[in-house]
Structure 1
Amino acid sequence: MSHRVESDDRLESPNVESGVDALRRRPEFRGPVDPPDDPIHGEGEANDHLASIYADRDEQFGAAIPFLCQGLERGEKCVYIADENTRAEVLGAIRSHGVDADAALESGALSVLTPAETYRSTGEFDIDAMVGFWEDTLARATDDGEFSGVRATAEMTWALDGRTDDDLLVEYEAILNSVFADEDYTVLCQYNRERFPDEVLRDIIRTHPHVVSDGAVHHNGFYRPPEEYFGPDDPARDVERMMSAMRERTEMKTTLEERHRGLRRQNEITADADRTFDQKLQALFELGCERFDLELGAMACVDPETDGFVVEYTSDDHDHFEPGTELPLSETYCATVTETGGPASVTDPLADGYEDTTVHREFGIRTYLGTYVPVDGDFDRTFFFVSSDPRGEAFSEAERTFHRLLGRWVKYELERQQRERHQRTLYEIAADADRTFDQKLQALFELGCERFDLELGGMARIDPGTDFFEVEAVSGDHEHLVPGAQVSLSETYCRVLTDTADVTGITDPLDADFGATEAYDEFGVRTYLGTRIELTDDLDRSLFFVSSEPRDEGFSEAERTFQHLMGQWVKYELETDRRESQLQSKNDRLESFASMLAHELRNPVTIGEIYSQQLPDESDSEAVEYVTEAFDRIEDMIDVMLVLTKGREAVDECTTVPLSTVAHEAWEEVEAPDATLAVTVDRAIQADATYVRHLFRNLFENAVKHGGDDVTVAVGDAPTGFYVADDGAGIPVEEREQVFEAGFTTASDNGGTGLGLAFVEELAEVYDWTVTITESEDGGARFDFRNVVADS
């Protein structure tokens, strides 16, 4: 079935577009202006006969040269008749627009002549000779098919020679309208406003359907066609023309006001930070229905490849169109916009070939205005308005433009939401503590394949210096790209990363000189997006996504940015993992050294303790006591060192430990005869008795050192644990976090090592206890231990 649609895509071809239509689309000219629609002389009477009214050479060449250059681009025979300017000046102006004037002259596509070489070869003003010149020029240019038409511009200052009658000049211009009618002729007559009399210019304007001035092409409302210009005076016709001009001016002003009002309302809606996307969309539907005088606005997800169409949003209730409605795309008017890619409309479904479609036959839709919204990284959409009532006239260019603007905002918002969703997913993957790096990497591959619409994600170890490439991980099954597979880097698309870490995409492998590589020939890769991950102490990596399907367009800046973010995360994870591995290796070496040192120290300490007990009775008792205490201290420090370096591994299996008993045993080891211990704790816990005794002794000795020889220390029950408190000087608030740091001590003069309380905190962490320091009821220090596992 063939469907004819009203589309805004117009071809730049001389066969389907007039010279004036093409000129309006030229960037040097403002516009476009509406085509003439005069109720008196009719739309078809206007032709491509223009007058350029200029004040200086810049304005003159600013219109004439682009006009002529466009003719050369369109394959027309171009003629410039110079009078006010020299031939060299004209050619220089043409060259300044980037045109190879010499080549155009040599091929015959361009001629720069003077009036004496053309229609004034006799030196006299002869209308018949001048008309004959133009007719002959057209015949010679088009008879053999070499040129599609004639594009001519003439400097009219030759008419100021004093021998040319002004009335005859105006008559000549009026006659040319008949000569050029229905011919492939576009002529621009140049008039210098500073040199021609106003009364002549007034009549010149009346004889040209179009006027170029101040860089704009104007439809001339004062134009009089030949039959009127040479016919009898007709006051009624003149009155009607005046009334028509006033109506047109009023209608144009009204249209502009409506257009501006609609744009202002659109901006207010889309800029409203208090509205959600759904609320903004509904407001735009309402605005569009009002602007186009249609019943329903809607948006649908479409997939031209699978002929898919699913309604996503509607502006109101409808018997057939509602969110979730599924149809073959080919059974809807939206098939039109997916083909053209731009705004399109249907106002006569029968004439346009839609008689048998579901939307016409069953839904009763008679009018449609829609646009295609391609969404980067998501399903494409169609944004459209429909009505069950037929529309008698086509949608205007202003309505199409407004609809296109609405569609662009929808595209921007959908792509912004998609980018934010993908970024949130990326952050969620990166922050998921329950996943390993390999699991996160697979999730990343899956996310990238979805984001870029590619088949496979992968990571490889690369070394440009040795042409090394080894696949490290991939997201799915592939005949060639499997973990451990090695190939020369130069045989892969990743070779583009040799000299750069920028994100690089390849969508045309042959043009990028990859046609002879293994990746293209054997692996069948046709699309690639990759980035290089530069590492400090390891081989670099390439993070890449590939597909066996070609991609019609390049990767967007948003896609490249997302690929860069994924590469940065992989870099962070790899370097963090390497640092942690290095740290673990150091810790392992430290633990091994600590175990060895403990073993080496325990042997001589044990021997020393045995021999100290065999010293003769007459030995110096004070010296023996010092030696014994030194050995005990070394034994304690060995235990502390093992707990601090090996943590839970240093602790033996847990047994039942009565806290009251262990506290008294620890107190007996403290040299403080004037100090007092008050034990009220009545709790048994699961732990290692030796280390718990060390914990109590370290706390007791800390209390004696800082509270004095007569300090009182209390050990009692606390919720989910126990406490140790004293009535000494206490610990300042600002020091309570520091006291647990290894090496921190305020009693170094009294033999403090700064390891005692560090051991206390480390042992608490080993058993998953929490320990806090507060002030006791007597103003001293209080250590609370919570979450202590009680003996059952």
Structure 2
Amino acid sequence: MSHLPNHADDLGLEDGLEALRAESDFSGPIDPADEHDSYDHLALVHESRTEQLSTVIPFVERGLERGERCVYVADETEPTAILEGLRDAGVDVDAALESGALAVHTAADSFLRNGSFEPDDAIAVLEDAIANATEEYDGLRIASEMTWALHDASVEALVEYESKLNRLLPNENGIALCQYDRERFPPSVLREIIETHPHLIYDGTVCQNFYYAPPAEVFGSDEPERELDRMMGTLVDRTEARAELQKRHRHLVRQNEITADPDASFGEQLQRLFDLGCERFDLELGAMARVDTERDRFEVEYASDDHEYLEPGVELPLSETFCAGTTGVEPSECVDDPESDGYGDARVYEEFGLQSYLGTYVETDAGADRTFFFVSSDSRDRPFSDAERTFHHLMAQWIAYELEYEERERALQASNERLEQFAYAASHDLQEPLRMITSYLQLLDRRYGDDLDEDAEEFLAYAVDGADRMRDMIEGLLAYSRIETKGDPFEPVDLNAVLEDVREDLQLAVRESDAEITAEELPRVEADPGQLRQVFQNLLDNAITYSGDDPPRVHVDARRRGERWVVSVHDDGIGIESENSERVFTVFDRLHSHEQYEGTGIGLALCQRIAERHGGEIWVDSEPGEGATFSVALPAVGESPTPSR
């Protein structure tokens, strides 16, 4: 049989098990076994009838589809079970049997047709069967149950037969699948049998057999020396494979540590990824560039190290770089031989002397697209592996996410700045007309107050009050808009001291309402002290204001919840309907009229914005007439605030 497994006319592993490889629970490679570069002799080691049939049925079905003659040699499996399995797979069994494309035999009329088993006789029978099959069909495909050998053949004879198949099949148009029941064959026998098969099927997987012993080793005089060479080669291969897996694992762990570091800036993380990639891919330089395919533009944005040509700010035509290959159908490109890879006239090769490249196109929804790549002026002695490409792709995915996040952050910052500008204009430009309105209203009252009747005085008072309330709302909007941009840096804050300051500010309200404010020992938190004072001021003032008819009773406490402290302000006031528990935090949305309770409707919205800036939250638990508890979650000292991304 031909040694080229991908040729359309071959019978071999690629075609012979194509149906198996399409199964979701089947996996397989494969590379040729050492000293046996064809794919025509397989051993199926199975532990159950289900496992056996799930391999054999697709194997035979594929042969019939390809126009081969298929022979099944049954021993312990009833031939009807094989035929029914093929029917369930959609094969027209009756037509295949009638035409001769399918035949089912027993060991008695095949391996033991002369009354006993002789390896040379069995090989001769198989040669004749292949010759007869190829007169009418594309080849012969045989699947044999081997349990008959337990009582009709010696181990030596069976090993001899299987080894001689390895001489016969590469030169004939045939493929053989030998089935061994692991529950029936002793381990010592299976060990010797396995060594005679270049490829094995076990547990739904096709394996290259590292323990394969070629015929020259089985029958040659130098068998011990060749077996020793093979064993040592296997040990080396496995040691190298294990070392490579450990290396991949270490790199993945390091990549996760780098990308998950909350204290590192994007630039710091990117530099560490560059260093990791240079080590992983054995390349000199990692870089990221802005690219514009329409303008054929390439501009280096970051580089991991000093480079004669690729420095941040350097611009080139995109078409003169290896990165041009990432802009096609596939978003990644590997170059290990610029001449053969189509970059022989590229500037980065001819002038810069770059020989190797691994890069990925990073598309963003906003801002410029990028390419993330690694290069070297040294040529590679091997192509980039799938594992290396996958590792690079994972890094590029993180880059894409971070770029999107950075762009959203910039957009949000710009939006906040515009909001602050608007709020400033509102506080400045709108307050000036309001001051003028108030001044003229007061002037009217002074000059003509004695001439106004009772209704006119009332109307004038309404106008002045409305102007004052509008001024308060504008000032509140200004304070709300500046929570992010005008806040102070976070620092350890003693909440006991903050509460004491607020109590002093509220002395007049406390005396007038006969309020009682008690508190437990409060913790230290990581926060902006001025903004926390605003929170306590609003919550305590609300607790006093909405106390109802009885003197206010307010209690402040705190409890630890993970990395946060939850500070709560309890009151026994009028309470809040549960359906309004979110509404109370909406800007300018009031639950009560100005006649009932004064206020701008922005205090709790301000508290919520402050809590969010600190990476926390605020909520209320309340029932009408049962009081309310407002709780704020704040980061404990030593825990960095983490606003949601």
TM bucket (normalised to shorter chain) is: 0.5 to 0.7
Among candidates 428, 451, 463, match of residue 665 of structure 1: 451
Is 1:181 aligned with 2:173?
no
Give the whole-Å Cα distance in 2 for the aligned partners of 1:236 and 1:270. 51
Among candidates 44, 47, 60, match of residue 52 of structure 1: 44
Question: Conserved in 1, the CA contact under 8 Å of 2:31 and 2:208?
Answer: yes
- The aligned counterpart of 2:74 is 82
Among candidates 6, 13, 29, match of residue 19 of structure 1: 13
CA deviation after TM superposition for structure 1 residue 60, in Å? 2.2
Structure 2 counterpart of 1:239, which letter?
A: L
- The aligned counterpart of 1:781 is none
- The aligned counterpart of 1:157 is 147
Higher relative CO (Cα under 8 Å, sequence separation at least 6) belongs to: 2
Q: TM-score, normalised by structure 2?
A: 0.57
Structure 1 counterpart of 2:104, which letter?
A: L
- The aligned counterpart of 1:213 is 202
Identity of aligned residues (%): 44
SS in 1 for 2:176: strand
| Residues 229-271 of structure 1: per-residue CA shift (max 9 Å, x gap) | 1111344333322322222222122111111111111121222
Give the whole-Å Cα distance in 2 for the aligned partners of 1:310 and 1:118. 76
- The aligned counterpart of 2:31 is 35
Change (3 A) 1:120 1:239: closer
Change (3 A) 1:79 1:322: farther
Once the two structures are superposed, the pairs formed by residues 366-385 of structure 1 within 5 Å of their partners are 366-373=355-362, 381-385=370-374
CA deviation after TM superposition for structure 1 residue 138, in Å? 5.7
Give the whole-Å Cα distance in 1 for the aligned partners of 2:87 and 2:421. 64
Give the whole-Å Cα distance in 1 for the aligned partners of 2:372 and 2:201. 38
- The aligned counterpart of 1:114 is 105
Question: Conserved in 1, the CA contact under 8 Å of 2:107 and 2:148?
Answer: no
- The aligned counterpart of 1:345 is 334
CA deviation after TM superposition for structure 1 residue 157, in Å? 2.1
CA deviation after TM superposition for structure 1 residue 279, in Å? 3.0
Give the whole-Å Cα distance in 2 for the aligned partners of 1:257 and 1:417. 34
CA deviation after TM superposition for structure 1 residue 114, in Å? 2.1
CA deviation after TM superposition for structure 1 residue 294, in Å? 0.9
Question: Conserved in 1, the CA contact under 8 Å of 2:75 and 2:107?
Answer: no
Give the whole-Å Cα distance in 2 for the aligned partners of 1:237 and 1:343. 44
- The aligned counterpart of 2:460 is 695
SS in 2 for 1:114: strand
Change (3 A) 1:418 1:174: farther
Among candidates 213, 216, 236, match of residue 227 of structure 1: 216
CA deviation after TM superposition for structure 1 residue 388, in Å? 0.7
| Residues 153-212 of structure 1: per-residue CA shift (max 9 Å, x gap) | 32222334x443433322221111122226665432111122234443222111111222
| Residues 368-400 of structure 1: per-residue CA shift (max 9 Å, x gap) | 223455556776654322111122223334333
SS in 1 for 2:226: helix
- The aligned counterpart of 2:321 is 332
Give the whole-Å Cα distance in 1 for the aligned partners of 2:127 and 2:293. 51
Is 1:166 aligned with 2:155?
yes
Give the whole-Å Cα distance in 2 for the aligned partners of 1:322 and 1:368. 16
Is 1:402 aligned with 2:391?
yes
CA deviation after TM superposition for structure 1 residue 132, in Å? 5.5
After superposing the two structures, state which structure 1 stretch, 17-26 or 381-390, moved more: 17-26
CA deviation after TM superposition for structure 1 residue 106, in Å? 4.7
Give the whole-Å Cα distance in 1 for the aligned partners of 2:307 and 2:257. 28
| Residues 35-59 of structure 1: per-residue CA shift (max 9 Å, x gap) | 3675xx4xx5464422122222233
Question: Conserved in 2, the CA contact under 8 Å of 1:662 and 1:692?
Answer: no
Report which of the two structures shows the higher radius of gyration computed on alpha carbons: 1
- The aligned counterpart of 2:257 is 268
Once the two structures are superposed, the pairs formed by residues 241-256 of structure 1 within 5 Å of their partners are 241-256=230-245
* Aligned-residue RMSD, C-alpha: 5.0
Among candidates 349, 355, 364, match of residue 353 of structure 2: 364
| Residues 578-604 of structure 1: per-residue CA shift (max 9 Å, x gap) | xxxxxxxxxxxxxxxxxxxxxxxxxxx
Give the whole-Å Cα distance in 1 for the aligned partners of 2:414 and 2:126. 70
Give the whole-Å Cα distance in 2 for the aligned partners of 1:46 and 1:192. 25
Change (3 A) 1:76 1:359: farther
Question: Conserved in 2, the CA contact under 8 Å of 1:45 and 1:225?
Answer: no
Give the whole-Å Cα distance in 2 for the aligned partners of 1:399 and 1:391. 13
| Residues 56-105 of structure 1: per-residue CA shift (max 9 Å, x gap) | 22332344345556667878765544332223322444566xx3122796
Give the whole-Å Cα distance in 1 for the aligned partners of 2:100 and 2:363. 42
SS in 1 for 2:147: helix
Structure 2 counterpart of 1:61, which letter?
A: L
Change (3 A) 1:258 1:340: farther
Among candidates 282, 287, 290, match of residue 276 of structure 2: 287
Change (3 A) 1:33 1:656: closer
After superposing the two structures, state which structure 1 stretch, 374-383 or 56-65, moved more: 374-383
SS in 2 for 1:101: coil
Give the whole-Å Cα distance in 1 for the aligned partners of 2:42 and 2:104. 19
CA deviation after TM superposition for structure 1 residue 326, in Å? 4.1
Change (3 A) 1:304 1:226: farther
Change (3 A) 1:331 1:235: same
CA deviation after TM superposition for structure 1 residue 287, in Å? 0.9
Change (3 A) 1:261 1:355: same
Structure 2 unaligned blocks of 5 or more: 424-433, 465-511, 514-543, 547-593, 599-645
| Residues 458-502 of structure 1: per-residue CA shift (max 9 Å, x gap) | xxxxxxxxxxxxxxxxxxxxxxxxxxxxxxxxxxxxxxxxxxxxx
Structure 1 unaligned blocks of 5 or more: 1-10, 435-647, 671-689, 700-730, 736-756, 762-792
Give the whole-Å Cα distance in 2 for the aligned partners of 1:73 and 1:408. 42
Question: Conserved in 2, the CA contact under 8 Å of 1:377 and 1:418?
Answer: yes
| Residues 732-791 of structure 1: per-residue CA shift (max 9 Å, x gap) | 8959xxxxxxxxxxxxxxxxxxxxx98xx9xxxxxxxxxxxxxxxxxxxxxxxxxxxxxx
Give the whole-Å Cα distance in 1 for the aligned partners of 2:415 and 2:87. 55
- The aligned counterpart of 1:61 is 53
CA deviation after TM superposition for structure 1 residue 34, in Å? 7.0
Change (3 A) 1:323 1:200: same
| Residues 8-33 of structure 1: per-residue CA shift (max 9 Å, x gap) | xxx98757996259769655567656
Give the whole-Å Cα distance in 1 for the aligned partners of 2:87 and 2:7. 24
| Residues 698-739 of structure 1: per-residue CA shift (max 9 Å, x gap) | 99xxxxxxxxxxxxxxxxxxxxxxxxxxxxxxx98959xxxx
Give the whole-Å Cα distance in 2 for the aligned partners of 1:309 and 1:422. 24
Once the two structures are superposed, the pairs formed by residues 780-791 of structure 1 within 5 Å of their partners are none
Structure 1 counterpart of 2:233, which letter?
A: S
Q: TM-score, normalised by structure 1?
A: 0.48
Question: Conserved in 1, the CA contact under 8 Å of 2:87 and 2:93?
Answer: no
SS in 2 for 1:212: strand
CA deviation after TM superposition for structure 1 residue 413, in Å? 4.3
Is 1:100 aligned with 2:87?
no
Number of equivalenced pairs = 455
Structure 2 counterpart of 1:664, which letter?
A: D
Change (3 A) 1:694 1:221: closer
Change (3 A) 1:329 1:133: farther
Structure 1 counterpart of 2:450, which letter?
A: H
Change (3 A) 1:375 1:693: closer
Give the whole-Å Cα distance in 1 for the aligned partners of 2:90 and 2:202. 27
Structure 2 counterpart of 1:171, which letter?
A: E
